[in-house]
Structure 1
């Protein structure tokens, strides 16, 4: 690892004033506010700031010079604030932002003015928006619901789910994001609707395949049908067949302009299992049934 003296371009015997002057010169050149979008300059600035954090502190510099702090990368307890912990990336060191530049802000040059304006901008900046994902049941996406999510810090947020949401839509909770001097940011909740094996949403309509018995299909019947908002009773007409589609008005998803789509119920005739000998005997003696060829009728 490069020595912090080499990073700042000073000799090990440099005075504190020389170290501060070298750092100030490099900071003017590399500060992120003066190099927006320049990742290389930003990374170099972090390395320079880390070096100054070590050498600008008399106690830390003394320990480094004594070999107690190994800039080559010896193991240390976390968050001790030594040079090795900062030089490799975006660390939480005192010079990561303008808050520790009080000793440079009293000047009247452009750098001091930049730091003062940067500090003021940070103080008035709105907090960051925080992003979360929330899985909800299909029924909740149709009828709406309130669900609670647990945050990484152990806190919770109650999320009101409006009716009709689809996967990928985002719910915005105002003021529930990160705090900031200009007010808290928002919490952005991306919703994922979990699949329900019974239902398929097609626009504002919902489809369902409903098994019915041979007797219900031939003779007609009243049957219970599940919907996203609860079961209802539906009439199966006499002579219904597999593929017959019945419509339940208003039992679909909410429409943008108001009202609801429909639920389309596709019937599927299911024979008993195991086969019923009486039914087999009836069909064997059913002459008209034997003469009927559905493939020719199609």
Structure 2
């Protein structure tokens, strides 16, 4: 299996920003939605996503760099081979008998030691004859297949309303995913049995959620904030205006005499929290003044001469 750094095309000492930049470039090229007729691209997409998830996790990256886990994020196996110099059991430098044997030249039966370490079952046939790793070698127990990792971009509105998503897995299979209540950036969803095949069953698919930023909504806990432009006459006289929400546009009443910065609350138009209750949408009014309007400028000059007072008097200026 390729080294995780070479999979992403970055150096081993690359910082997180460089790793993210490399992943975004590859993910855009290899995404299954853009390569429906190219299974190899889907497989490579899964590998670069798995490399990204490990290398952007500080703990996992450190363990990988120390050689403690492999490219799938699984602990590396324990290799019970020969002793120093590669000698096996019974040979020079090994565990059997002989002038270099490591036990003072005596013949030592280690079967009892290994029974204690590995759960017994060794038949004593003059040394290691019955121990599973030597002599009558037993096959290792079947292992479950490795997990596969995916990164799913979810539109802001879909995350807020928990709209069902579709993800294409390795091999081209497409499955539906229900977003959990209180879903946040980086949330992980486990799809049992959708990973790689193994003797003891399939591994799982781990889907990491990436919520796409919105061009005018922002999230604040379970609430959604929106700056709403309104005209001067709407601010002065009030009236009903159409306001966008993640559920679709709604009509909202603007109170007469509203100033920029006034915030209106639309109940239940935010994100669905972990309790199942939705937050609100907070709408901040922003008055837009037209530029180069002679009629408006003339009216304001006439109006200001009537001595309307200093709006900054409360600030002491």
Q: Which string of whole-angstrom CA distances, capped at 9 and with x for unpartnered residues, describes residues 9-58 of structure 1?
A: xxxxxxxxxxxxxxxxxxxxxx94316xxxx99xx89xxxxxxxxxxxxx
- 8 Å Cα contact 2:237/2:257 also seen in 1: yes
- 8 Å Cα contact 1:245/1:266 also seen in 2: yes
- 8 Å Cα contact 2:129/2:136 also seen in 1: no
Q: 1:269 to 1:113 in 2, by over 3 A?
A: farther
The aligned residue for residue 301 of structure 2 is: 284
- Report which stretch shifted further, 233-242 or 250-259: 250-259
1:131 aligns with 2:149: yes
- 8 Å Cα contact 1:147/1:160 also seen in 2: yes
Which structure 1 residue ranges, 5 or more long, are not aligned? 1-30, 46-106
Q: Equivalents in 2 of 1:280, 1:206: separation in Å?
A: 36
1:294 aligns with 2:311: yes
Counterpart of 1:223 (choices 241, 253, 256) is 241
Q: Equivalents in 2 of 1:207, 1:221: separation in Å?
A: 21
Q: Equivalents in 2 of 1:227, 1:114: separation in Å?
A: 70
- 8 Å Cα contact 2:226/2:281 also seen in 1: yes
Q: Equivalents in 2 of 1:292, 1:177: separation in Å?
A: 71
The aligned residue for residue 252 of structure 2 is: 234
Q: Equivalents in 1 of 2:212, 2:136: separation in Å?
A: 50
The aligned residue for residue 25 of structure 1 is: none
The aligned residue for residue 108 of structure 1 is: 129
Q: CA deviation at 1:260?
A: 1.2
Q: CA deviation at 1:257?
A: 1.8
TM-score between the two structures when normalised by the length of structure 2: 0.56
Q: CA deviation at 1:183?
A: 1.9
The aligned residue for residue 172 of structure 1 is: 190
Q: Which string of whole-angstrom CA distances, capped at 9 and with x for unpartnered residues, describes residues 210-242 of structure 1?
A: 000000111001111111121111111001110
- Report which stretch shifted further, 260-269 or 148-157: 148-157
Q: Equivalents in 1 of 2:307, 2:148: separation in Å?
A: 68
Q: CA deviation at 1:171?
A: 1.1
- 8 Å Cα contact 1:132/1:190 also seen in 2: yes
The aligned residue for residue 79 of structure 2 is: 33
Q: 1:173 to 1:182 in 2, by over 3 A?
A: same
Q: CA deviation at 1:146?
A: 2.8
Q: CA deviation at 1:243?
A: 0.2
- 8 Å Cα contact 2:150/2:208 also seen in 1: yes
Q: Equivalents in 2 of 1:177, 1:166: separation in Å?
A: 23
Q: Equivalents in 2 of 1:162, 1:185: separation in Å?
A: 22
Q: Equivalents in 1 of 2:244, 2:203: separation in Å?
A: 41
The aligned residue for residue 273 of structure 2 is: 255
- 8 Å Cα contact 2:188/2:209 also seen in 1: yes
Q: CA deviation at 1:163?
A: 5.0
1:153 aligns with 2:171: yes
1:198 aligns with 2:216: yes
- 8 Å Cα contact 1:141/1:163 also seen in 2: no
Q: 1:114 to 1:289 in 2, by over 3 A?
A: farther
